[in-house]
Amino acid sequence: MLILGVESSCDETAAAVVEDGKKILSDVIASQVAVHSPYGGVVPELASRKHVEAILPVIAQALEEARVGAEDLDAIAVTQGPGLVGALLVGIGAAKAMAYALGKPLIPVSHLEGHMHAAFLGQTSPRESFVCLVVSGGHTALYRVDPDGKNHFLGATRDDAAGEAFDKVAKLLGLGYPGGIEIDRLAVKGNPHAIAFPKAFMEKDSLEFSFSGLKTAVANFVRHHGLPAGENESPSYRIEDLVASFQETVVDVLVTKTVRAANLTGTKDVAVVGGVAANSRLRQRLTGAAFEHQLNLHLPPLRLCTDNAVMIAAAGFTVWKRSGFCLDPLELDAVSRWHV
Ligand code: KG4
Ligand code: ZN
C-alpha cells in the first residue's frame, strides 16, 4: 500500500511516500529554521505563510523522488493535530484537495502517533508491546504502545516539555534557535557533573515530569554568576559545563522514568522518539541503561526523530490497518490539542 504522508504542524513542511508503513521511497523536508531563528522561536503566522509557499513543491518532490505518480497512491495521510492550527490547515488543505481530486482515501494522523511510529523505522523494531517516551518541543510523555499501534497513556510533563526547556535555556544563554542541537554540540566539551540542578518527581513510581523548575534554576544560576557573554566579562564558570550539567539533569530524569515505566509495566521493549531523541547524550545514556536493565532499546535514525512526513505515512498505514479509518476529504479539520 503506497501512502503519501503530509506534515505541517509546526515549522517543517514535509512530504514522504512510504510503502506498507515501512519502505521509505522518499522523504522531503523544507525547514523554516532560518525564518524563525531571528525571533528565537516559531512565529505562527510566518510558519503558516512559509507552509503555503512550500507545500506543493514539497509534495511534488516527494512524488518525483519516489518515482510514483499521484494516481499510483493508495491513500494520503496527513497530520490532523496537535500543532499550530494555521500551520496544520495548510497541509490538511493540500491533502484534502489531492484526496478529493484523485478520489483517494484520506487518513487523519495524530502527530504524536506519528512520532511513535518512528520507533519502527530504526535498525531494530519492537515486536511486542513497548514503552514509548515521546520527547519533543511540544511533548514529554510516556505511553505503552500495543502491537496494533493502540497506545495507553502512562504519564506526562506537568509544565514544559523537555525540548522546550532545551530551547528556553539556549535562548537565555544566547545560543540561538533551535536550542536543543546547540546545547547538545556545546555540552560535549563540558563536565556534566559541574553544577547540581534540581530534578523533579524523582520519587518512587512517579511517571510525571516537570522541567520549569530546572529552567528557573538555570536562570537563577546565570543571575548569580553572570551571563556567559554578558556584561560580566569573566563568569566564574564555563558555558560548556553549564549546558552539560543542564543537559545531564534532563537526561537523568528521562532515562530514569523510561526504565521505571518499563519496570512498572513489565515491558522489555522501549523506544524513545521525538526531537529530543536526537540528543547524543540521551542516546548514549539510554544505550547504557538498556544494557544494564536488559531492555531492548529502539531509537529512530536522527532524521526521523525531529518532524518529518515518513512517520506520518507510516502511522497512516497503521491507522488504516487498525480501523480502516478514512475520512471524506471534505470532513477533515485541524485539531490544535490532541491527547492520543
Ligand atoms: O519533534 P520535533 O521536531 O518537534 C515537535 O514536535 O516539537 O522536536 C523539536 C524539539 C526542539 O525543542 C529541539 O530543540 C529539540 O527537539 N531537539 C533537540 C535536539 N535536536 C532537536 N534537543 C536536544 N538535543 C538535540 N540534539
Ligand atoms: Zn514533532
List the alpha helices (DSSP H) in 266-305: 280-293
Chain Cα centroid distance, residue 176? 19
The position carrying cell 553544577 is 195
Number of structural domains, the chain?
2
Q: Dump pLDDT digits (tens) for 151-201.
A: 999 999 999 999 999 999 999 999 988 899 999 999 999 999 999 999 987
Residue 332 counted as domain residue: no
Q: Which of 128, 172, 139, 124 is nearest to 267 (CA)?
A: 128
Q: Is 184 annotated to bind ligand? A: yes
| Alpha carbon nearest to ligand 1 atom 24, residue | 279
Name the average pLDDT for the chain.
Answer: 94
Coil/strand/helix, residue 24: strand
| Binding site membership of 163 for ligand 1 (Cβ less than 6 Å) | yes
Same domain, residue pair 82 and 35: yes
Are 186 and 104 members of one domain?
A: no
Cα dihedral 78, 311, 168, 46 sign: negative
Inter-residue contact 170 to 234 (CB < 8 Å): no
pTM for this prediction = 0.94
Report the CATH number at residue 35.
3.30.420.40
Establish whether residue 80 lines the binding site of ligand 1, counting it when its CB lies within 6 angstroms of any ligand atom: no
Please give the ipTM for the structure prediction.
0.99
325 vs 131: CA distance, rounded Å = 25
Question: Kind and range of the H or E element at 140?
Answer: strand 140-145
Substitution candidate for ligand 1 out of 134, 181, 304 with most atoms within 8 A of CB: 181
236: pLDDT confidence band, cut at 50, 70 and 90? Answer: confident
Is residue 16 located within the same domain as residue 140? no
Which residue segment(s) compose the domain that 282 sits in?
Answer: 123-299
Q: Judge if 235 and 311 occupy the same domain.
A: no
